[in-house]
Amino acid sequence: MRFKDKVVVVTGAAQGIGEAYARALAGEGAAVVVADMNEESGAKVAASIEEDGGRAIFVRCDVSDAASAEALVATTVEQLGGIDHLVNNAAIYGAMEFNLLISVDWDYYRRFMSVNLDGALVMTRAVHPEIAKRGGGAIVNQSSTAAYLYSGFYGLAKAGINSLTQQLAHELGGQKIRVNAIAPGPTDTEATRTQAGDAAKDIVRNSLAIKRMGSVDDMVGALLFLLSDDASWVTGQVLAVDGGQTFRL
């Protein structure tokens, strides 16, 4: 119960890795805010956590919109008393368009980046004062090994997340707020199955040291570590959980 009496906001928690994060945190005692645009799925996740004996609320939130982020903070503080940790997981991924940087529609590109990159900053700006009021805490951003590979505007956004993580770690360290990121490799989720299809088998065979797709549970352990006091002197880091897909010296 490492997170007993802690309040954790998890964006994009209505499905996939975000849902697994929310459930795991609730299982270790946290009160979890399931933040997502998908009201039906998000409410179901929060209700399911409650049915399993945990504590959770659903709050609809558009991470690209500062007013929406501020409204989430207000609702969370009113209902749960404050915020200790933030997980910036929300992203456009499963329904992501395939296109090149040199040809992607500008309006789509701007909307994509407003969620996949700027969203983490929007949420951090809204949430960090509340974390500071509680004496400090931790923020974990969701990156991807796409940041190190050719992957168009998706990889560009995730490379930005890595840099954002490092910059925010320095800006917020004085408030006793740690900021780290997790970079998942190919992970078996509905979104990845939509994006990669049968090509995922080739990725496993040709580029992974551990010859299987990652699972959402593989990411959970990294998240719980980075949010916990076990990582009290870890900040500004990007932890690849990728089966050995990437090598960085």
Catalytic positions are 154
The whole-angstrom separation of Cα 85 and Cα 228 is 10
Q: Ramachandran region of residue 158, left (φ > 0), alpha (ψ -120 to 50) or beta?
A: alpha
DSSP per-residue letters across the chain: -TTTT-EEEEETTTSHHHHHHHHHHHHTT-EEEEEES-HHHHHHHHHHHHHTT-EEEEEE--TT-HHHHHHHHHHHHHHHS---EEEE-----TTPPP--TTTS-HHHHHHHHHHHTHHHHHHHHHHHHHHHHTT-EEEEEE--GGGGS--HHHHHHHHHHHHHHHHHHHHHGGGTEEEEEEEE-SB-SHHHHHHHTTHHHHHHHHH-SSSS-B-HHHHHHHHHHHHSGGGTT--S-EEEESTT-----
HSE toward the beta carbon, residue 115, CA cutoff 13 A: 19
How far lies 152's CA from each of 119, 155, 230, in Å?
19, 6, 35
